[in-house]
Structure 1
Amino acid sequence: MASITIWGRPNSNNVKKALWIAAELGLKYKHVLAGLQHGVNNTPEYLAMNPNGVIPTLQDDDLVLWESNAIVRYLAAEYAVSSGHPALWPASARARAVGDKWMDWTSTTFAGLYRDVFWGYIRTPPEERDMDKITGNLAKVNDLLRMVDAQLGRTAFLSGSEFGVGDIPLGCFIYTYFALPVERPALPNLERWYADLQKRKAYQDVVMIPLS
């Protein structure tokens, strides 16, 4: 097996995606702390790998990748079959596309709105919080999650009938969502899906860490 290194801080949802898929696949890898208090991502050596200066970055032998969803897709495509987890990367392009759209939807539609809610509650002192912005974005986040709830009323997972890579991006965010001190609407299908994720050891080890 190739030599894999993943750079990033473990409390980043984008880094969690990479660590989670690696754990699901049972891959051995080196984890280098980087970003915010850890630094590293603004060094010349890091920028030579990832000129964006963001996390995560993956190195697999001579391949260097950034963009968390690309890393998830690559690791699944490269190792799902050989590691004995073929459901994480179905042979059918149509089957993969079911979860693929939810991966990108989470990044392009959900993450930006949710980030302001999470940072507002967890990483901003109470006296500095913009509560109008936080509560406004939380209402939008809840509307988006009602759409997810409707989908999960039709399929067991966002990837379809089985857990797959399409569940990983939103699965990282949803742990913190249910841990925030906010009122949430009734979302029974989302709650059932979240309960299923919590049964996965990789999710417990990588995603379910203290909020920070």
Structure 2
Amino acid sequence: MLKIYGRDNSINVRKVLWACAELGIAFEREDWGAGFRPTSEAGFLAMNPNAMVPVIDDDGFVLWESNSILRYLAAQHGGSALYPAAPRERARIDQWLDWQASDLNRSWSYAFMALARKSPEHGDAQQVAASIAGWTRFMRVLEQQLQHSGGYVAGADFTLADIAVGLSVNRWFGTPFEHAPLPAVAAYFERLTERPGFRTYGRNGMA
């Protein structure tokens, strides 16, 4: 059985959990990370030298990096509907997966830690404002894409990209500040809520 190492209040762990729900993959999960067993333990570092969650062990195959895990699970467990083999369709999904990890997530990090997590190390008002401005800019990119895509991030159909981006959208609405009006993003959020996996691991009260 697939083993998942990581706390279920981690946005990146929840990506993997939601993917398992979409793909019908049974799993066991162990709590690791902040508030649980430290990822600095030697046993965990042997699996992921970066000391970060999530990590999976699929019958002896160990993998880290959440979006890489999404791609692997879809490819290994019959998820062609979520991650097609056709190069151009797959590249479009990869584009948005990489955008989520490299651009969108970096933009919200400081504001989220300050406003949602109340981190005392993130109390600089100017940095909070700058983070919100950057976050809003990238969310407007998403707004524009959703206005033309046909309903989901990479096109008309739900894909792996929506798992990664959808959880970031959940974090956008779950962080307390005055949000720019983004009607296509709001409609997308409601559309995702129709999926049981998102209700369980996304829009479940956690940001």
TM-score (norm 2): 0.94
Matched, 1:133 2:127: yes
- State the distance in 1 between where 2:84 and 2:8 align: 28
> Aligned to 1:158, what secondary structure does the other structure show?
coil
More displaced 10-residue stretch of structure 1: 55-64 or 179-188: 179-188
- State the distance in 2 between where 1:121 and 1:72 align: 29
The unaligned stretches of length 5 or more in structure 2 are none
> Aligned to 1:153, what secondary structure does the other structure show?
helix
Aligned AA (1:199): E
Q: Check the 8 A contact 1:98/1:158 in 2, yes or no.
A: no
- State the distance in 1 between where 2:66 and 2:82 align: 16
Structure 1 residue 70: Cα displacement: 0.4
- State the distance in 1 between where 2:121 and 2:43 align: 38
Structure 1 residue 91: Cα displacement: 2.7
- Give 1:147-166 correspondences, 5 Å limit: 147-155=141-149, 156-166=151-161
Q: 1:196 — aligned with what?
A: 191
Q: 1:36 — aligned with what?
A: 34
Q: 1:211 — aligned with what?
A: 206
Matched, 1:101 2:107: no
Q: 1:185 — aligned with what?
A: 180
- State the distance in 2 between where 1:181 and 1:53 align: 29
Structure 1 residue 129: Cα displacement: 2.3
The unaligned stretches of length 5 or more in structure 1 are none
Matched, 1:90 2:84: yes
Q: 1:10 — aligned with what?
A: 8
Structure 1 residue 12: Cα displacement: 1.1
- State the distance in 2 between where 1:118 and 1:128 align: 9
> Aligned to 2:57, what secondary structure does the other structure show?
strand
> Aligned to 1:38, what secondary structure does the other structure show?
coil
Q: 1:171 — aligned with what?
A: 166
| Over 4 Å off, 4+ runs | 125-128
Structure 1 residue 61: Cα displacement: 0.4
In the alignment, which of 51, 66, 69 is matched to residue 68 of structure 1? 66
Structure 1 residue 128: Cα displacement: 6.6
Aligned AA (2:189): Y
TM-score (norm 1): 0.91
Identity score, percent: 33
Q: Check the 8 A contact 2:113/2:119 in 1, yes or no.
A: no
More displaced 10-residue stretch of structure 1: 87-96 or 28-37: 87-96
Aligned AA (2:75): A
- Describe the superposition over 1:143-199 as per-residue Cα deviations: whole angstroms up to 9, x where unpaired: 111111111011111121100001111211111211222111121111111111111
Structure 1 residue 125: Cα displacement: 5.4
Q: 2:104 — aligned with what?
A: 110
- State the distance in 2 between where 1:22 and 1:51 align: 24
Q: Check the 8 A contact 1:73/1:165 in 2, yes or no.
A: yes
Q: RMSD of aligned C-alpha atoms?
A: 1.7
Q: Check the 8 A contact 1:99/1:164 in 2, yes or no.
A: yes
Q: Check the 8 A contact 2:48/2:64 in 1, yes or no.
A: yes
